[in-house]
Amino acid sequence: MQNTIAYEVKVLRVMIAGGGTAGHINPGIAIAQHIKSRSNSAEIIFVGTQRGLESKLIPREGFELKFIKVRGFKRKLTLENFKTLKELFQGILQARRLIREFKPDIVIGTGGYVCGPVLFMASRMKIPTLIHEQNAFPGVTNKLLSRYVDAVAVSFREAEQYFIRAKRLIYTGNPVRSEMLKADRVSSRKKLGISSGTSLVVIAGGSQGAAKINNAVVDMLSGGYRLKNCQIIFATGNLNYEKITKQLEKVELPSVKIVPYIYDMADTMAAADLMVNRGGAITASELTVLGVPSIIIPLPHAAENHQEYNARALEKQGAAVVILEKDLSGEVLYNHIEAILKDTKKLRAMAANSKSLGISDAAERLYEVVEELTGKKRHYR
């Protein structure tokens, strides 16, 4: 009679904490979606705060969201910090209750203040823990947590130096949307009607737009600066569209398409010869997965100036050129765009360098870490 081995078959239970900004939330959603694709019966819940964007973004993706109380400390000693300290203790107790109720096999943090109580409590309760850092310069919460959690996954090599006390460091990259992985330059250019021999420059300061970038583009276009054999797609942000179009209504712009928002960013980015954008970690990851050269204008007031760190990481590898906002003008922007487009050898090198930095299987790498931390002997449906 042949011997058989009986394996325990169980459902993978995952708790993901992350919030505040889309830069922390979207990677968590991408991780959750990939886990579901690899283990379709997996049970996943998110933990966030009612103040953050997670309250809108996560339910839209069909995932359950639980709330705890927590917020960041002010850098100066104020009475507000005593309220914050009180909320922190409340948040720790709420996190412990949620963990006891849900009984996760692993707790994953993707950034934001909410990660503090949840990941700290999970580590104290001996539950496997993983944090994912999206930026080249880590946030305060993730740096503090790194000494307690089982593993830290980074998206930029430059971030590794800030996690010297981490038990384990893994370079995974940022998980990007599936449509970015499927986008193809040839078909995307055909879809957008970009003819061969025509360069496409895409300028987008983010979903809400960026006033300094918008002003520089308006100055460039109204100042008579024109790029030969080049089409421009300029996304103003929904709130700024009417203002910008009114400012440019008397300017002849046959090769410029002004839109409030780019809904099909995957095809638009894939078709681009050059992007002009902010320095968010997810944008940087999408650019490199597609191999698109970029001019990055970091948001100067981003937490810990992380956007400039992300931008400099790409610039150091020859994939991008950085313009600080304080140096930005219509003329400066035009000169940089023209110089890159005219030097076809440099443009090709930037594209190749960008592509070499791209990690298309980041979500799978993170899933493999989840499998390792939760135990290889477990077999999930």
Q: What is the DSSP string of 165-193?
A: T-S-EEE------HHHHH--HHHHHHHHT
Rounded (5°) CA angle 297-298-302: 155
Q: What is the DSSP string of 272-297?
A: -SEEEE---HHHHHHHHHHT--EEE-
CA-nearest of 124, 131, 139, 136 to 166 is 131
263 burial type by CB count under 10 A (0-12 exposed, 13-18 middle, 19+ buried): exposed
pLDDT tens for each residue of 165-192 = 999 999 999 999 888 999 999 999 999 9
pLDDT tens for each residue of 186-223 = 999 999 999 999 999 999 987 667 899 999 999 999 99
- 0.85 cut: is pTM over it? yes
- The pLDDT score that the predictor gives to residue 182 is 93
Amino acid in position 113: Y
Q: 379 pLDDT band (50/70/90 cuts)?
A: very low
pLDDT tens for each residue of 123-173 = 999 999 999 999 999 988 899 999 999 999 999 999 999 999 999 999 999
SS (H, E, C) 353-366: HHHHHCCCCHHHHH
**Average pLDDT of the residues in 90-119:** 94
Largest CA-CA distance found in the chain, in angstroms, rounded? 88
CA 123 to chain centre: 25
Can you tell me the distance from the alpha carbon of 266 to that of 185, in angstroms, rounded to the nearest whole number? Answer: 10
Can you tell me the distance from the alpha carbon of 106 to that of 46, in angstroms, rounded to the nearest whole number? Answer: 12
Tokens of 146: 């790194």
Angle of the 344-357 helix axis to the 281-290 helix axis, nearest 10: 110
CA-nearest of 36, 213, 17, 186 to 111 is 17
Residue-range domains of the chain with CATH: 9-176+360-380 (3.40.50.2000), 179-357 (3.40.50.2000)
Can you tell me the distance from the alpha carbon of 297 to that of 272, in angstroms, rounded to the nearest whole number? Answer: 17
- The pLDDT score that the predictor gives to residue 70 is 79
170 burial type by CB count under 10 A (0-12 exposed, 13-18 middle, 19+ buried): middle
**Which helix (H) or strand (E) covers residue 132, if one does?**
strand 129-133
Q: Which residues pair with 275 in a beta bridge?
A: 202, 294
Is the pLDDT at 315 greater than 50? The verdict is: yes
Q: 91 pLDDT band (50/70/90 cuts)?
A: confident
- The pLDDT score that the predictor gives to residue 86 is 62
Please state, as a whole number, how many other Cβ atoms lie within 10 Å of the Cβ of residue 89.
12
Between these two residues, 296 and 53, which has the higher pLDDT value?
Answer: 296
Can you tell me the distance from the alpha carbon of 267 to that of 255, in angstroms, rounded to the nearest whole number? Answer: 19
- The pLDDT score that the predictor gives to residue 83 is 62
Q: What is the DSSP string of 182-248?
A: H--HHHHHHHHT--TT-EEEEEE--TT--HHHHHHHHHHHHTT---TTEEEEEE--GGGHHHHHHHT
Q: Look at strands 199-204 and 169-171 and give their pairing.
A: unpaired
Can you tell me the distance from the alpha carbon of 263 to that of 239, in angstroms, rounded to the nearest whole number? Answer: 15
- The pLDDT score that the predictor gives to residue 21 is 83
Question: Which own/partner contact pairs does 252-259 have at CB distance under 8 Å and 24+ positions apart?
Answer: 253/221, 255/226, 255/227, 255/230, 255/231, 256/221, 256/231, 256/232, 257/231, 257/232, 257/233, 258/234, 259/233, 259/234, 259/235
Q: What percentage of the chain has pLDDT greater than the value 70?
A: 91
Can you tell me the distance from the alpha carbon of 21 to that of 153, in angstroms, rounded to the nearest whole number? Answer: 19
Can you tell me the distance from the alpha carbon of 162 to that of 93, in angstroms, rounded to the nearest whole number? Answer: 29
CA-nearest of 101, 92, 154 to 119 is 92
- The pLDDT score that the predictor gives to residue 224 is 85
